Amino acid sequence: MWFQNKMLTILQDFSDDTDLEDTPPQVEEELSVRKLKENVRRFKSGSEPIMLYFKVLSALLSWRSPASTFLAFLLYMFAIYSGWFLPVFFGLILWHFSKTYLISRGWNIEFSLLPYHTIEKSSEEDKTLGMSDKFQLVLQVAKKAQNFLGEAADSLEKLQNLFAWTDVEITRSLYKNVLTVFILSLFLPASTLLTYAGFFIGFKMFIIKHLFQRYPRLKQKYDTVQNMWKKLPTNEEKIQRQIVAQRKQVNLSTRLITLFAN
């Protein structure tokens, strides 16, 4: 009977006749400074733990705490070498859930694998805003939204131009790298490729990135990925390059016509 009822329920889910009520359309709220301030406060409060985590992770990779970074580097390399990366990764996630569960039950656990002590916490008090402050708040939010959307649009346009062969040299370099990995994948097992990729990512995160941050001239000269990304044009830059190329072609044609005329 249980199996029969279960099958009937599933068959009813696939039927066209549904008794679901139509959900009413959502009404957008009007622009309000008070609501904007409240949403900004909520977003800031909700994003603080995430931003703090990324700051601590950046501090870990920047060797602000040499002991913690060296221990993390050894743990990462050992996990890659022994093939225990996934068990270690999911084990750390389980440790975090267990730790937060114990904290929610009243336990005072301050131990952490990440160097939280290297990050200075800033405390800002909530102040009552006047009319000028409210206006400035709206301008700041609009400016941040404008800059964020502009950077996101630039990144999307760069990716689009990367796969459209707008800059042939950069796309050819990426094509050669993908071709090399494809040829290696035909002769090497996936576990070996993942191990080599894990070692490369580990050295890139813990060693090479730290050297690039400490020595900007080294980063400017040898950070090929960052240099390639900077050279990729946006749509506006692509149009400007086309205009410059057309002007050069017209000037060259004019010079040739003048030369042959003389």
pLDDT at 131: 65
pLDDT at 74: 93
pLDDT at 177: 92
Q: Which residue has the tokens 């009552």?
A: 128
Per residue of the chain (262 residues), give pLDDT as tens: 999 999 888 888 787 655 555 556 676 777 777 787 788 888 888 888 888 888 888 888 888 888 889 999 999 999 999 989 999 999 999 998 998 899 888 888 877 778 887 777 665 555 555 667 777 777 888 888 888 889 999 999 999 999 998 889 999 999 999 999 999 999 989 889 999 999 999 999 999 998 988 888 888 888 888 889 999 999 988 888 888 888 888 777 777 777 776 6
